[in-house]
Structure 1
Amino acid sequence: MNLNLTKIMFMNLLMFSTLMTISSSNWLSMWMGLELNLFAIIPIFNMKMSIYSVESTMKYFLIQAFASILLLMFLTYKSMFFLINNNMLIILPLLMKLSLMPFHLWLPSMVEGLNWSSCLIMLTWQKISPMIMISYLNTNKNMIFLIILIFSNTIFGMNQNSFRKILAISSINNSSWMLFAILMNENLWINYFIIYSMLNLMIINILNKYNINYINQLKFFNMNFLFKINLLMLILSIMGLPPMLGFIMKWMLIKNLMYNNMYLIMLMLITLTIMNLYMYMKMMYFILFNYNLMNKWFKQMKMNYNYNYIMFMNFFSIFFAYLILY
């Protein structure tokens, strides 16, 4: 009971710190909200103590503390950097908190030691505060474009076998899309973030329920047809392929980039997404072509979980896209 109350307390503190950051009227209050957020999430990471969670928590604390020190220094001593655009200096520690290029390599190794619920918080909720703070800055979108070139991250994710690292690398790629979305239109970013969070919630729920941590595990148990179809649809949706639900969030941003004549940025983001498809194709291989790997002595798993809501959301995504975009 005490553990449940403790978890509820820190979850409420986590939500309060984020609301404090996005509703503050000055940068010092925003920085205090980020620090409160850091102190709230550390115990959440360590609810189930293990040597891997402690290591990941220490990595996260050191990186976030260093980014907070830089942010406070740039906010406090603006006169020291009068020859440089101060907004660009403030963006650097926020990009470090978001794990965007060139500060992106810490996220996959850190997420590897967390449980699935902590991974979900890390990949979704923790992106809100830094992105809102970046949207408050008067920055040039083309300069942001030069910062979030993540070719090295894309190549880095091609040989990964862990689902946690694949989702982390996918999160880095989607963060670049969300960053452009919030700089152009906050409503566009809200729609993108809600759809992205829903997709992560559904796929992490499946991976957590059946204790799937690596791609190779997909061939070690028999999947019934409904489970296979739903998992395949989720992967296609996270890939952003039409007509799945994940395509809506990318199509909304593509449409706005076209309206603003930002064709170079649009082509760059699409190219990076296409390069990331290789990671998801590895998952699809074991789902579509694993019939010959099944022997009769494999244990048949009972899939009693209801995935009808996933099929509904994906099959009717074209209708949702029509309502949103037109």
Structure 2
Amino acid sequence: MFFNFTKLMLANTMMIGVIMTICSNNWISMWMGLEMSLLSFMPLMQTDNQISSESMIKYFIIQSIASTLFLFSISIMMIGVNMMILNLISISMLIKLGAAPFHNWILMIIESMSLFSIFTLLTVLKLPPIFIMYQINSSTIIIPIMLGMLLSSLLCLNQSSIRKTLGYSSIYNMSLILSTVNFINISYSYMFIYSTILMFSMVLINKLKVNFINQMIINDFSMFMKISLWINMLSLSGFPLLLGFFNKIMIIQIMILNNQIILVSILMVSSMFVTMFYLRLAFNCILTLSSFKKWTNVETKTVFYPLLVNLFSMPFFSLISSIY
């Protein structure tokens, strides 16, 4: 009982830190909010696994380096603002976001974390750095955006761990979010849809209790649960007519309006690799010969709602976008 109350208090403190950063109008308050959310999230990473303690230390060291660089940058800003200071702030936020080329730390710690901690790390804790990137409006993030789209789409092709697959998906989607960071409403709308799809995917992964993709082939899961999981994963990749495709359409529209033709081309090529990866996995898990139960005792609502949202939300969001 005490442990649950402690986790609740830490989660509340973490959310206060996130809100404090987003609502602040000075750099010191933003830094304090980042530190509050960091220190509150670290105990939530702790599990019974001994490796989680090592991951927690790695996470603390990486975030401390980024926070120190950010504090150093805003201290120099007292003298005067120039492009070098804005670049330093951009680098510190890219480290905190786990965006390319500073993405390796996410892949190192994500394996030993619980699904709740992974979801929090990949969604909630990325909101404050996105807001700070919007404030500085730096043009030096074009290269990290390109690297993120290309590296994540290529490196995930040979991946068998579901958690690392989610990590590469986060790096890829973070590159797309950064490409629209000057339009903060679009960025947060993208983040909301991405968080929804990721939450549904993690509910299914937790229900199936799988850690590696090969388990989807070997184990005797029902065909309906397999299809539900892979429709969610395809939605994360922006497969047409699914909920994630609406995000990709928004990004392409913003890039075309800003005459970012090179980014659009890289997005198209990287999307092809990501979609090919998920389609290959779906083919191996669903269409290959494997024994599966014709009946299952798993609660149907758990796997039916994510499937329903992904299939029928796309027309709804398209209607909203056409109105506004």
Q: Is the 8 A contact 2:222 2:294 kept in 1?
A: no
Q: Which residue of 1 aligns with 2:38?
A: 38
Q: Is the 8 A contact 2:239 2:275 kept in 1?
A: no
1:109 Cα shift? 1.4
Letter paired with 2:317: A
Q: 1:259 aligns with which of 257, 260, 267?
A: 257
Q: 1:187 aligns with which of 185, 188, 192?
A: 185
Letter paired with 1:226: F
Q: Which residue of 2 aligns with 1:108?
A: 107
Return the alpha-carbon distance in structure 1 between the equivalents of residues 263 and 55 of structure 2.
34
Counting aligned pairs with the same residue, the percent is: 32
When normalised by structure 2's length, the TM-score is 0.92
1:317 Cα shift? 3.2
1:126 Cα shift? 1.2
Matches within 5 A, 1:66-81: 66-78=65-77
Q: Which residue of 2 aligns with 1:304?
A: 299
Deviations 1:265-297 (CA, angstroms, capped at 9, x unpaired): 22222322322234423431332223x2328xx
Deviations 1:60-89 (CA, angstroms, capped at 9, x unpaired): 001000111111111112478977532112
Q: Which residue of 2 aligns with 1:247?
A: 245
Letter paired with 2:37: N
Q: Which runs of 5+ in 1 are unaligned?
A: none
Q: Is the 8 A contact 1:222 1:299 kept in 2?
A: no
Q: Is the 8 A contact 1:21 1:34 kept in 2?
A: yes
Q: Is the 8 A contact 1:21 1:31 kept in 2?
A: yes
- SS across alignment from 2:300: coil
- SS across alignment from 1:316: helix
State the Cα RMSD in Å: 2.1
Q: Which residue of 2 aligns with 1:51?
A: 50
Return the alpha-carbon distance in structure 2 between the equivalents of residues 182 and 82 of structure 1.
21
Return the alpha-carbon distance in structure 2 between the equivalents of residues 144 and 167 of structure 1.
23
Q: Which residue of 2 aligns with 1:158?
A: 157
Q: Which residue of 1 aligns with 2:8?
A: 8
Return the alpha-carbon distance in structure 2 between the equivalents of residues 286 and 2 of structure 1.
45
Matches within 5 A, 1:1-326: 1-46=1-46, 48-78=47-77, 84-140=83-139, 143-148=140-145, 149-150=147-148, 151-183=150-182, 185-290=183-288, 292-294=289-291, 302-306=297-301, 307-326=303-322
Return the alpha-carbon distance in structure 1 between the equivalents of residues 273 and 280 of structure 2.
13
Letter paired with 2:319: L
How has the CA–CA distance of structure 1 residues 318 and 29 changed in structure 2, closer, same or farther, with 3 Å as cutoff? closer
1:50 Cα shift? 1.6
Return the alpha-carbon distance in structure 2 between the equivalents of residues 64 and 205 of structure 1.
28
Q: Which deviates more, 252-261 or 273-282?
A: 273-282
Q: Is the 8 A contact 2:14 2:41 kept in 1?
A: yes
1:241 Cα shift? 1.1
How has the CA–CA distance of structure 1 residues 83 and 256 changed in structure 2, closer, same or farther, with 3 Å as cutoff? closer
Q: Which runs of 5+ in 2 are unaligned?
A: none
Q: Is the 8 A contact 2:234 2:279 kept in 1?
A: no
1:90 Cα shift? 0.9
When normalised by structure 1's length, the TM-score is 0.91
Return the alpha-carbon distance in structure 1 between the equivalents of residues 77 and 49 of structure 2.
42
How has the CA–CA distance of structure 1 residues 102 and 232 changed in structure 2, closer, same or farther, with 3 Å as cutoff? closer
1:190 Cα shift? 2.0
How has the CA–CA distance of structure 1 residues 116 and 299 changed in structure 2, closer, same or farther, with 3 Å as cutoff? farther
1:304 Cα shift? 2.1
Q: Is the 8 A contact 1:192 1:249 kept in 2?
A: yes
Q: Kindly tell me the number of residue pairs found equivalent between the two proteins.
A: 319
Q: Is the 8 A contact 2:76 2:85 kept in 1?
A: no
- SS across alignment from 1:112: helix
